[in-house]
Amino acid sequence: MIYRSILVSLLAIGIGYVVIASQIALDPWSEMDAINSRTLPYFYGSGLALCALVLLLQRPVALEVSGRILPLGLVCLVIVAFISLLQYAGLWWSLAALLVANMLIMGERRLPILFGVSLGVPLVGWGLVEQLLEMVVPL
């Protein structure tokens, strides 16, 4: 079912891509070119739709879904939180929070490791990137 949904999505992406490609604004000179900004996207989009269609006609691939989907969802949520936190807490504190949260989700409970890794890595990163290489993180 999921496999078929993927193929249907790919088919839709291919068709949608061709439709959007047809709406790319061209100047009159480009329209006369043998290959302009739209030409290759037409090929790519229709090629993808065709391939997806061929795969849809073949035998579907079966896959057993693991029971660890929920924790993976939590990891994704943590990444979203990291992205949202960047503006407010800065790169290195957000990275520390990301590391500690992900380690907790994945089952790490030893405090020295939790704090050592989540504080040590951002500290080394800060020292290397901002102090040694003098890069400015624009946040």
Interface positions with another protein (CB under 8 A)? 2-3, 6, 10, 13-14, 17, 20-21, 24-27, 30, 33-37, 40-41, 44-45, 47-48, 51-52, 54-55, 61, 63, 66, 68-69, 71-72, 75-76, 79-80, 82-83, 86-87, 91, 95, 98-99, 102-103, 106-108, 113, 117, 121, 125, 128-129, 133, 135, 137-138
**CA–CA dist 35, 30 (Å, integer):** 8
Shortest distance, position 55 Cβ to another protein, whole Å: 6
Beta carbon of residue 39, minimum distance to another protein (angstroms, whole number): 9
Check if the beta carbon of residue 46 is closer than 8 Å to that of residue 94. Answer: no
Closest distance between another protein and the C-beta of residue 89, in Å? 13
Question: Closest Cα to residue 54, out of 114, 14, 102, 103?
Answer: 14
Closest listed residue to residue 96, CA positions, set 134, 125, 76, 128: 125
8-state DSSP, 136: -
Measured from the CB atom, the residue of 66 and 111 that comes closer to another protein is 66
Question: The tokens 């405090």 sit on which residue?
Answer: 111
CA distance 33 to 7: 34
The pair of structure tokens assigned to 101 is 């949260």
Which residue's CB is nearer to another protein, number 12 or number 26? 26
Q: Which is nearer to another protein, 87 or 111 (CB)?
A: 87
What residue type is assigned to position 60 of the chain?
P
The least CB distance from residue 16 to another protein, in Å, is 10
